[in-house]
Structure 1
Amino acid sequence: MFKLFKKKSEIEKLEIKFKKLMNEWHQLSSINRSKSDAKYAEAQKLIPIMSELKKSNEIY
Protein backbone atom coordinates (compact mmCIF):
# COMPACT_ATOMS: atom_id res chain seq x y z
CA MET A 1 0.00 0.00 0.00
CA PHE A 2 2.81 2.40 0.81
CA LYS A 3 4.44 1.85 -2.58
CA LEU A 4 1.45 3.66 -3.98
CA PHE A 5 2.86 6.95 -2.73
CA LYS A 6 6.52 6.23 -3.39
CA LYS A 7 8.09 8.19 -6.23
CA LYS A 8 10.10 6.25 -8.77
CA SER A 9 13.82 6.81 -8.86
CA GLU A 10 15.59 7.84 -12.03
CA ILE A 11 16.93 4.31 -12.46
CA GLU A 12 13.44 2.80 -12.21
CA LYS A 13 12.13 5.27 -14.79
CA LEU A 14 14.96 4.40 -17.20
CA GLU A 15 14.42 0.66 -16.69
CA ILE A 16 10.73 1.03 -17.50
CA LYS A 17 11.56 3.05 -20.62
CA PHE A 18 14.16 0.45 -21.63
CA LYS A 19 11.69 -2.42 -21.27
CA LYS A 20 9.10 -0.50 -23.28
CA LEU A 21 11.57 0.21 -26.08
CA MET A 22 12.71 -3.41 -26.21
CA ASN A 23 9.09 -4.58 -26.37
CA GLU A 24 8.41 -2.17 -29.25
CA TRP A 25 11.62 -3.32 -30.94
CA HIS A 26 10.50 -6.94 -30.76
CA GLN A 27 7.04 -6.17 -32.12
CA LEU A 28 8.43 -4.09 -35.00
CA SER A 29 11.12 -6.62 -35.90
CA SER A 30 8.76 -8.56 -38.14
CA ILE A 31 6.88 -5.55 -39.51
CA ASN A 32 9.31 -2.73 -40.21
CA ARG A 33 13.03 -3.38 -39.95
CA SER A 34 14.19 0.26 -40.05
CA LYS A 35 11.85 1.34 -37.23
CA SER A 36 12.87 -1.75 -35.30
CA ASP A 37 16.55 -0.83 -35.62
CA ALA A 38 15.81 2.73 -34.47
CA LYS A 39 14.04 1.47 -31.33
CA TYR A 40 16.92 -0.90 -30.60
CA ALA A 41 19.49 1.87 -30.97
CA GLU A 42 17.48 4.14 -28.68
CA ALA A 43 17.28 1.39 -26.06
CA GLN A 44 21.01 0.73 -26.28
CA LYS A 45 21.74 4.39 -25.52
CA LEU A 46 20.01 3.96 -22.15
CA ILE A 47 22.28 1.14 -20.97
CA PRO A 48 25.37 3.27 -20.16
CA ILE A 49 23.21 5.85 -18.42
CA MET A 50 21.57 3.20 -16.24
CA SER A 51 24.92 1.61 -15.37
CA GLU A 52 26.40 4.98 -14.37
CA LEU A 53 23.43 5.71 -12.12
CA LYS A 54 23.71 2.29 -10.52
CA LYS A 55 27.43 2.79 -9.91
CA SER A 56 26.87 6.18 -8.34
CA ASN A 57 24.17 4.73 -6.05
CA GLU A 58 26.45 1.91 -4.91
CA ILE A 59 29.02 4.39 -3.64
CA TYR A 60 26.65 5.93 -1.11
Structure 2
Amino acid sequence: MFNLFRKKSEIEKLESNFKKLMKEWYELSSINRKLSDEKYAMAQALIPKIEQLKKAHEIN
Protein backbone atom coordinates (compact mmCIF):
# COMPACT_ATOMS: atom_id res chain seq x y z
CA MET A 1 0.00 0.00 0.00
CA PHE A 2 2.85 2.38 0.71
CA ASN A 3 4.24 1.75 -2.78
CA LEU A 4 1.05 3.08 -4.31
CA PHE A 5 2.53 6.44 -5.33
CA ARG A 6 6.10 5.27 -5.88
CA LYS A 7 7.44 5.81 -9.39
CA LYS A 8 8.50 2.74 -11.31
CA SER A 9 12.18 2.32 -11.98
CA GLU A 10 13.46 1.95 -15.52
CA ILE A 11 13.93 -1.79 -14.94
CA GLU A 12 10.34 -2.18 -13.74
CA LYS A 13 9.04 -0.28 -16.77
CA LEU A 14 11.01 -2.48 -19.17
CA GLU A 15 9.94 -5.67 -17.41
CA SER A 16 6.31 -4.56 -17.51
CA ASN A 17 6.61 -3.79 -21.21
CA PHE A 18 8.28 -7.19 -21.78
CA LYS A 19 5.42 -9.01 -20.03
CA LYS A 20 2.85 -7.06 -22.05
CA LEU A 21 4.57 -7.91 -25.33
CA MET A 22 4.87 -11.59 -24.42
CA LYS A 23 1.16 -11.70 -23.56
CA GLU A 24 0.29 -10.10 -26.91
CA TRP A 25 2.66 -12.52 -28.66
CA TYR A 26 0.90 -15.49 -27.07
CA GLU A 27 -2.56 -14.20 -27.94
CA LEU A 28 -1.58 -13.51 -31.56
CA SER A 29 0.30 -16.77 -32.03
CA SER A 30 -2.79 -18.62 -33.22
CA ILE A 31 -4.36 -15.71 -35.11
CA ASN A 32 -1.69 -13.79 -37.00
CA ARG A 33 1.72 -15.39 -37.23
CA LYS A 34 3.50 -12.38 -38.78
CA LEU A 35 2.28 -9.94 -36.13
CA SER A 36 3.02 -12.53 -33.46
CA ASP A 37 6.63 -12.81 -34.66
CA GLU A 38 7.00 -9.03 -34.59
CA LYS A 39 5.80 -8.85 -30.98
CA TYR A 40 8.19 -11.65 -30.01
CA ALA A 41 11.12 -9.85 -31.66
CA MET A 42 10.24 -6.63 -29.87
CA ALA A 43 10.13 -8.47 -26.54
CA GLN A 44 13.45 -10.19 -27.17
CA ALA A 45 15.06 -6.84 -27.97
CA LEU A 46 14.22 -5.68 -24.44
CA ILE A 47 16.11 -8.51 -22.72
CA PRO A 48 19.64 -7.10 -23.23
CA LYS A 49 18.51 -3.67 -22.01
CA ILE A 50 16.97 -5.17 -18.87
CA GLU A 51 20.08 -7.26 -18.15
CA GLN A 52 22.36 -4.27 -18.72
CA LEU A 53 20.39 -2.14 -16.25
CA LYS A 54 20.35 -4.94 -13.68
CA LYS A 55 24.14 -5.33 -13.93
CA ALA A 56 24.62 -1.57 -13.57
CA HIS A 57 22.30 -1.56 -10.56
CA GLU A 58 24.22 -4.44 -8.92
CA ILE A 59 27.54 -2.61 -9.29
CA ASN A 60 26.22 0.51 -7.60
Q: TM-score w.r.t. structure 2 length?
A: 0.98
What do you get for the CA RMSD once the two structures are aligned? 0.5
> What is the percentage of aligned positions where both structures have the same residue?
68
> Corresponding residue for 1:52?
52
Tell me how far apart the structure 1 counterparts of residues 57 and 39 of structure 2 sit (CA, whole Å): 27
Q: What is the aligned partner in structure 1 of residue 12 from structure 2?
A: 12
- In structure 1, stretches of 5+ residues that fail to align are none
Q: What's 1:22 paired with?
A: 22
TM-score (norm. length: structure 1): 0.98
Please list every run of at least 4 consecutive aligned residues from structure 1 whose deviation after the TM superposition is greater than 6 angstroms. none
> Quick one: distance in 1 between partners of 2:22 and 2:9?
20
Aligned length: 60
Structure 2, gaps ≥5 residues long: none
Shift of 1:34: 0.1
Compare 21-30 and 1-10 and name the one that shifted more: 1-10
